[in-house]
Structure 1
Amino acid sequence: MPFAHTAEAVRAWVDGWTVSRGAAEPVPHAWGFTVDVGAPGHVMRHVLHSADEATVRKVTEHSTAPGIWLKAFVPPERLEPWLAPGWHLAGGAGHLMSAPLPVAHGRDLTGTPDGYRIDTWTRAGVTRVLVRTADGAFAARGQIAVTGLVAVVDQVETDPAHQRRGLGRLVMRNLTAAAAEQGAAKGVLGATPEGRALYETLGWRELAPLTSAVRGPGS
């Protein structure tokens, strides 16, 4: 079942992301949500489910400490001129994406390429998949948080030395299978420009552009 509208997907993404990262409960506002993250360089984030110039200007003018992030579902070229002084774009043109999850049928451990091994574990509502070489070196990873019928994919990455070997697809198949086993029926994620191509091959579709901005130090 698809999301009824983008705002519903945004809320689901925020809820799952906070579980995935162990962040604080999202605080709702008329324009979106604020989340205390508490990490160096990422103290908190504002997520605007509907962005316009007046709202972005107000939020960024009142957020003056370094390490505050903003996520808005508009293209970078639209967001950038709305930012208050001291803010800058970060990460390029991202994408909010969604897909129905497969019916639970077990995890695809048999698809692991020769020379690699895969491990999965679940703790505090988050399932993690780790792919390593035969001698234990990091190759790829990802995690997924299930909140009711929705699962949020997060932090999928493949080491550059191990790209183009199907490891990203392997991670995603196992993450979504694990989420389906836990009762999730649809997924949502925030994709980088590089990750979008992988997700599209797996049936994920863009719901909205996703642009990031950050308040820089000493500004």
Structure 2
Amino acid sequence: MPFAHTAEAARAWVHGWTLSRGAAEPVRRAWGFTIDVGLAGHVMRHVLHSADEATVRRVTGHATAPGVWLKALVPPETLEPWLAPGWHLAGGAGYLMSASLPVAHTRARPGAPDGFRLDTWTRAGVTRALVRTADGAFAARGQVAVTGLGAVVDQVETDPAHQRRGLGRLVMDRLTAAAAEQGATAGVLGATPDGRALYETMGWRTLAPLTGAVRGPGSSDT
């Protein structure tokens, strides 16, 4: 079954994301979670599953070092005026999405199209899928972390030169099938607008907007 409530899905996303990225264990707050990430442009992350103006102003006002991120379940136009000075929106529009596992078409287990090969492996609780061309060049990738009955799909991307060949769908199929085999019954992910369009065709549904902001110079949401 998919997650019944957005807050429940957000909690599962936080715990799966930290496992997927090798980040520190999330610290529970009244408004959500704080995660030590440990990257130069992404030192720490606050995830607000209950965002309002007062909370956002308080959290962003206390964070004055660069490289601190915030994710909130509100649209960009709502979050931006709430941010303290020195903060700005980052990462573009996003969406929190969920689906029951396994999704129906994963049972067919499609193979890689001609000219590509797919490899998967699991290490430390994270299953990765990698698609390469016949000569070994990168084509697409993604990973999934299973925590109990929940699974978080993460870092799905397709090289622009190989888009519109079904590689993103192939990666999603393999990752969600692998998660279901490990006992997960519900999936959750953070999607871009392009990703959302693909995932909706695969049975995923949007639960809430998911907007990012960062303190200091802009950086990618790695």
Q: TM-score, normalised by structure 1?
A: 0.96
Cα distance change, pair 103–59 in 1 and its aligned pair in 2 (3 A): closer
**Alpha-carbon shift at residue 107 of structure 1 (Å):** 7.9
1:120-139 aligned within 5 A: 120-139=120-139
* Aligned equivalents of 1:40, 1:26: Cα separation in 2: 19
Does structure 2 conserve the Cα–Cα contact (< 8 Å) formed by 1:107 and 1:178? no
Cα distance change, pair 13–123 in 1 and its aligned pair in 2 (3 A): same
**Alpha-carbon shift at residue 27 of structure 1 (Å):** 0.3
**Alpha-carbon shift at residue 31 of structure 1 (Å):** 0.6
Structure 1 window deviating more from structure 2 (192-201 vs 207-216): it is: 192-201
Name the SS of the counterpart of 2:91 in structure 1: strand
* Aligned equivalents of 2:172, 2:5: Cα separation in 1: 24
1:43-122 aligned within 5 A: 43-102=43-102, 108=109, 110-122=110-122
Give per-residue Cα distances to partners, 1:128-154, cap 9 Å, x unaligned: 000000000000000000001110000
1:200-211 aligned within 5 A: 200-211=200-211
* Aligned equivalents of 1:9, 1:78: Cα separation in 2: 21
Give per-residue Cα distances to partners, 1:42-68, cap 9 Å, x unaligned: 001000010000000000000011000
* Aligned equivalents of 2:217, 2:20: Cα separation in 1: 26
Does structure 2 conserve the Cα–Cα contact (< 8 Å) formed by 1:107 and 1:177? no
Name the SS of the counterpart of 1:177 in structure 2: helix
Gaps of 5+ in 1: none
**Alpha-carbon shift at residue 103 of structure 1 (Å):** 7.1
Q: Which residue of 2 aligns with 1:212?
A: 212
Does structure 2 conserve the Cα–Cα contact (< 8 Å) formed by 1:57 and 1:83? yes
Which letter does structure 2 place at the counterpart of 1:185? Answer: T
Which letter does structure 2 place at the counterpart of 1:3? Answer: F
Aligned residues: 217
**Alpha-carbon shift at residue 217 of structure 1 (Å):** 3.8
Does structure 1 conserve the Cα–Cα contact (< 8 Å) formed by 2:2 and 2:187? no
1:139-150 aligned within 5 A: 139-150=139-150
Gaps of 5+ in 2: none
Name the SS of the counterpart of 1:57 in structure 2: helix
Give per-residue Cα distances to partners, 1:144-167, cap 9 Å, x unaligned: 000011100000000000000000
**Alpha-carbon shift at residue 5 of structure 1 (Å):** 1.2
Which letter does structure 2 place at the counterpart of 1:5? Answer: H
Give per-residue Cα distances to partners, 1:7-50, cap 9 Å, x unaligned: 11110000000000000000011011000000120001000010
**Alpha-carbon shift at residue 106 of structure 1 (Å):** 6.6
* Aligned equivalents of 1:172, 1:6: Cα separation in 2: 22
Does structure 2 conserve the Cα–Cα contact (< 8 Å) formed by 1:107 and 1:174? no
Name the SS of the counterpart of 1:170 in structure 2: helix
Q: Aligned pair 1:169/2:169, yes or no?
A: yes
* Aligned equivalents of 1:2, 1:17: Cα separation in 2: 17
* Aligned equivalents of 1:39, 1:188: Cα separation in 2: 24
